[in-house]
Amino acid sequence: MTLRLFFLGFFIAIGALAADKPNIIVILVDDMGFSDIGCYGSEIPTPNLDKLAAGGVRFTQFYNTARCCPTRASLLTGLWSHQAGVGHMVEDLGTSGYRGRLNDRCVTIAEVLRPAGYFTIMSGKWHAGQNHGVTPGNRGFDRSLNAAAGGFYYPDSPHTELFLNGETVGRRGGNIPEQWYSTDLWTDFGIKFIDEALAAKKPIYLHLCRNGPWELYNLKTDRTELHNLAAAEPVRVKELAAKWDAWAERAQVKPYPVKNGKAGNKKK
């Protein structure tokens, strides 16, 4: 099976070429920097993503909308976020570009692919207007486990509320494990739904939206101070520092001067 991988900073699209209907996986990640993946220079080991990137295509230029909801609206519809009705967040500000929900003048990728025979799946943070009645189920997705918005990572977090195929399922129990971390939960249910698609012999479109990019670290083994990666890669550190300095000069950013290992305000 041949894979194609496309990186857009925090967004990853994978197409598995299969006949005329490739399987498609989109991974949208909150709070992850452009260079937090190994193939973009990160010191964090991401071997599986690096392997996919090596056999695919990586974008070198990408712009997002600087906040959560508009980016999701654009990614789901291919439109500028104001055209889709989500110019800001999910509050209705009383004008067409700021309704706080996907409007009725746009279609999502799922609404296009489902009539074409795809098994459409959404797992993770939705944040596209569920408070206004816009859910994954009524915007083209066959299966979904989702949060209406974000703000939680564990079952006992104050804002935790899960929806399974449009039905409120609370925090845990039933098909939901007693204990979970959101990054793992979204992925596990995405895989379960993929198994359903395979059983149905349909091509797959998975829209996986993690509100945290990584699994929890094992602090006893993964602490950076215990593994001085910078000292082990001096050439790479020098190259990254040069890129940072070049960007800072172009952007006219003046970092605090460093003295004795500590940053401080420059005295005039």
DSSP state of 133: T
Which entry of 69, 82, 127, 209 is annotated as an active-site residue?
A: 127
Q: H-type helices in the chain, by residue range?
A: 47-54, 68-77, 81-84, 109-113, 182-199, 219-222, 229-232, 234-250
127 noted as active-site residue:
yes
Contact 238, 58 (CB under 8 A): no
Q: How far is CA 41 from the centre of its chain?
A: 19
3-class DSSP state for residue 84? helix
Tokens of 263: 């940053």
Contact 209, 186 (CB under 8 A): yes
Give CA–CA dist 167/134, Å, rounded. 13
Residue at token pair 């944040």: 127
68 noted as active-site residue:
yes
Tokens of 170: 């609370």
Which entry of 68, 69, 207, 209 is annotated as an active-site residue?
A: 68
Tokens of 187: 């992925």
Contact 150, 161 (CB under 8 A): no
Give CA–CA dist 155/152, Å, rounded. 8
Q: Which amino acid type is present at position 12? A: I
Give CA–CA dist 110/93, Å, rounded. 27
As annotated, the active-site residues are 68, 127
